[in-house]
Structure 1
Amino acid sequence: MKFASEFRDPALARSLLAAIAARADEIGATRARPLHIMEICGGHTHAIFRYGLDRLVHEGIEFIHGPGCPVCVLPMGRVDECIAIAERPEVIFTTFGDAMRVPGARGSLLQAKARGADIRMVYSPLDALEIARRNPAREVVFFGLGFETTTPSTALSIQQAAREELFNFSVFCNHITVPEPIRALLDDPDMRLDGFIGPGHVSMVIGIHAYDFVARDYSKPLVVAGFEPTDLLQSVLMVLDQIAEGRSVIENQYARVVPEHGNPVSLAAIADVYERRPSFEWRGLGEIDASGLRIRETYAAFDAERKFGIGYGTPAAPRQEPEGCACGAVMTGRIKPPACPQFGRGCTPEMPLGALMVSSEGACAAYWQYAGARGLAAE
């Protein structure tokens, strides 16, 4: 497998693990006071469990699973607003598949579909545009969801709809940004983080300098990483090198994919279509200033919040998480998934109670798929 096998080389992995162990010993990392390294991206969380990196690295290193799963951090109130739009008789509501089962106070989109709402799974906003072209008498709404990785495709689709004057197409915008929750976590006095593994896909769009504040304001190292096992191991070593040498900078291990200054075409589309919300609620994290995007006035005709009078300027009231659900504590690294009282009991992939068990990038889903039996047995 060209461009994959070289990043899964066992000999290279063993060499990196030995170097990590030597650096961890030099720093004085122990099980009593492990170094807490947060991988922000849910894709990294799955790779760590898939390849058993959490068990292979030095015992003085603990991976903290961050909030880098956009489906997982979607608040229940926004799910309820999705359902309110989808249940309108004139609406065809389109969404990515992993958002179908995220629970809100009124159930999930999948349950709303079972009740009769016209909800369709699509693979991109361009699919939703095509549905709008074929159904001119219906309002077609696309559930715009995700970090900076998916934000440009939604922006480009809105621009295309504007060019075509396809006014029966609109977007329910729930796009969010990565740097702001990192700052919120670093401002939390209860968080003890020694360094970060930065997201690879997001950084393809925004580049590496969006994280400069992590080193400048908080003196923490951050290394943008790829998704193969040796990518992650090299990134951990780069973080440890910085700690051992007393440095705090932003480094790019994933330079084969991530440009230093991001993707200019994507950034231009984002700047044209979106503006910052004053604040946005994150499931388990609460309100975070300037962490959400909304559609600019220029494209108001394609904004589902304005079109249907839902959400815009009137944030959804916070909803209480189901009893015993500890998604917030897991997303902020305070506990591991098996410590949630519902993990593997009231909350499973077949019957998810919390969003972290739904998404393919959720920490609970990753733990269940690759380490669930081990985790439950260890309790």
Structure 2
Amino acid sequence: MTDRKDFLKAYSGEPLRFMEVCGTHTAEISRNGITELLPPEISLISGPGCPVCVTVTDYIDRLVWLARQPETTVVSFGDLLRVPGSRESLADARADGGSVKMAYSPLDILKMAKSEPKRTYVFAAVGFETTAPVYAVLLENAIAQGIENIRLLTSLKTMPPVIDWVCGNGSRIDGFLAPGHVSVITGSHVFQKLAEKHGLPFVIAGFDGEQLLAAVYTLVKCRGRAGAVNLYRSAVTEEGNKRAQAAVEHFFEPCGAAWRGIGIIPSSGLRLREAYARFDAGSMGLDSDREHNPLCRCAQILTGAQTPVSCPLFGTECTPQHPQGACMVSAEGSCYQYAVHHRKR
């Protein structure tokens, strides 16, 4: 590790910009102070890897509306509760009398729905390839147990199409720290295809400081060369988790999806197949994105066009205690991580 650290500190070549597209990587890079070990010539920028952050305001608005319907309860992960829609958040709706509950797992909704069969329980199904298999398991259990009062409002997205979009829309990226958790499901081969298409290095890594530093070191050594390097072999194979892939494919099919700050990317989302449409809570057509605060720069930060410290709201109007945008709400959001770890680079 010392040799790698010394190599990186001594680097003085052409400026390099590497993008991580995993919210956990964003958090661990900040927590481990990785950027403080790098020279000014090497920049790490956060991409669209936080599932809560890339969710558009139309989706939040729909959840808020559902929470106010009779005999309806919206169930969500905790970090989504504070994400502002165009006017208010789920937390605001709950304070105003809406029915909103927090869960640690989508499977928690099974017990809730069983206990009140006349009430409809809607789970806010956000996430990437990592989370989608859990929703498949939820539906398997609901069908097996004859529970019909469960619905999903889906905002499920897949990672390769958005990386492809970033590469093809003028962002100067010299390499990618590929998402570790997603790679466990998809396998490394999907990033090999992207590497070959765009002529860039991709490195799949774990999450501790030494692994992240090794990933940056490998990206520097591989600059200018196309290929995917798997440094997370303890969890990631070339083909991925076939069982999880099959479960997702059984219940979901690809669709266009709206990404905060980007718009609609074809075939970048997952929707319920027609055979399971009865479990859908009205997910399609939630495409508009109207920031709660017009000065918020979440859209630009998610695509690497700006950094959190360049946002006019950062650290003043927008703080972890009073977030103005999704990137400051989620613990995986780059603004939140910059704020709590006093990160400048």
Considering the TM-score relative to the shorter chain, is it more than 0.5? yes
Deviation of residue 59 (structure 1)?
2.6
Deviation of residue 240 (structure 1)?
1.6
Other-structure match for 2:107? 126
CA contact (8 A) 2:264 2:287 kept: no
CA contact (8 A) 2:56 2:288 kept: no
CA contact (8 A) 2:21 2:46 kept: yes
Other-structure match for 1:355? 326
Which residue identity does 1:220 align to in structure 2?
Answer: L
Deviation of residue 20 (structure 1)?
2.9
* Residue 131 (structure 2) pairs with residue 150 (structure 1): yes
Which residue identity does 1:17 align to in structure 2?
Answer: K
Match of 1:247 among 225, 234, 237: 225
Please provide the CA RMSD for this pair. Answer: 1.5
Other-structure match for 1:331? 302
Other-structure match for 2:341? 370
Other-structure match for 2:235? 257
* Residue 28 (structure 2) pairs with residue 51 (structure 1): no
Give secondary structure in 2 for the equivalent of 1:180.
Answer: helix
* Mapped partners of 1:238, 1:136: distance in 2: 54
Match of 1:84 among 65, 75, 81: 65
Where is the helix percentage greater, Structure 1 or Structure 2?
1
Identity %: 39
* Mapped partners of 2:17, 2:118: distance in 1: 54
Deviation of residue 366 (structure 1)?
0.2
CA contact (8 A) 2:263 2:287 kept: no
* Mapped partners of 1:129, 1:347: distance in 2: 36
Match of 1:266 among 244, 250, 253: 244
After superposition, the Cα gap between the structure-2 partners of 1:231 and 1:281, relative to the gap in structure 1 and judged at 3 Å, is same
After superposition, the Cα gap between the structure-2 partners of 1:345 and 1:21, relative to the gap in structure 1 and judged at 3 Å, is closer
CA contact (8 A) 1:214 1:221 kept: no
Give secondary structure in 2 for the equivalent of 1:68.
Answer: coil
* Residue 276 (structure 2) pairs with residue 299 (structure 1): yes
> Unpaired runs of 5+ in structure 2?
none
After superposition, the Cα gap between the structure-2 partners of 1:370 and 1:153, relative to the gap in structure 1 and judged at 3 Å, is same
Which residue identity does 2:186 align to in structure 1?
Answer: I
* Mapped partners of 1:303, 1:285: distance in 2: 25
* Residue 186 (structure 2) pairs with residue 206 (structure 1): yes
Give secondary structure in 2 for the equivalent of 1:67.
Answer: coil
* Mapped partners of 1:315, 1:146: distance in 2: 16
TM-score with structure 1 length normalisation?
0.88
* Mapped partners of 1:355, 1:112: distance in 2: 17
Which residue identity does 1:221 align to in structure 2?
Answer: P
Match of 1:236 among 212, 216, 219: 216
* Residue 8 (structure 2) pairs with residue 20 (structure 1): yes
Of structures 1 and 2, the larger Rg is shown by: 1
Give secondary structure in 1 for the equivalent of 2:107.
Answer: helix
Give secondary structure in 1 for the equivalent of 2:164.
Answer: helix
Which residue identity does 1:324 align to in structure 2?
Answer: L
Other-structure match for 1:288? 265
TM-score with structure 2 length normalisation?
0.96
Which residue identity does 1:159 align to in structure 2?
Answer: E
* Mapped partners of 2:232, 2:59: distance in 1: 34
Deviation of residue 107 (structure 1)?
0.3
Q: What is the total number of aligned residue pairs between the two structures? A: 345
